[in-house]
Amino acid sequence: MAEDCIFCKIVNGDIPSRKVYEDDKVLAFDDINPMAPVHVIIIPKQHIPTLLDIDPDHADIMGDILSAVREVSAIKGIDQKGFRTVINCNEEGGQVIFHLHMHLLGGTRLRDDLG
């Protein structure tokens, strides 16, 4: 738990979210400002700031997140149609919240522009 981290507060229940999936390591919830008909944020419950902070102490976390992708895409009914996953890293990558998270986007034909 990091003080003043919005996603840690969601994990703790201090900030409400629309939960899509949860297990002991990972939480997934609807993005508050969706960029597609389906836009889910998947996070480790443990506070890890960025993709670059995954060290041997939490080496399994990407596997846990990818397992959640399988679950969430099925729950949302877009597993067969298709979807996109994105992890923004640091400022020029567009990261705004510094608690590692994967975006899962779908429910429409996604455009290919990268901004």
Number of residues that bind ligand AMP (CB under 6 A): 13
CA 99 – CA 6 distance, rounded (Å): 8
One residue of 17, 27, 69, 78 binding ligand AMP per CB under 6 A: 17
Among the residue ranges 48-56, 59-67, 77-85, 93-101, the one whose residues contact ligand AMP (CB under 6 A): 93-101
DSSP H/E element including 77: none
95 binds ligand AMP (CB under 6 A): yes
Q: Which of 39, 47, 58, 101 is catalytic?
A: 101
31 binds, among ligand AMP, Zn ion, none (CB under 5 to 8 A by kind): ligand AMP
26 neighbors 60 (Cβ within 8 angstroms): no
- Could you say whether residue 32 binds ligand AMP (CB under 6 A)? yes
Q: With left for phi above 0 and alpha for psi between -120 and 50, is residue 13 left, alpha or beta?
A: left
On whether the CB atoms of residues 58 and 48 are closer than 8 A, the answer is: yes
> Is 99 an annotated catalytic residue?
no
2 counts as binding Zn ion under rule CB under 5 A: yes
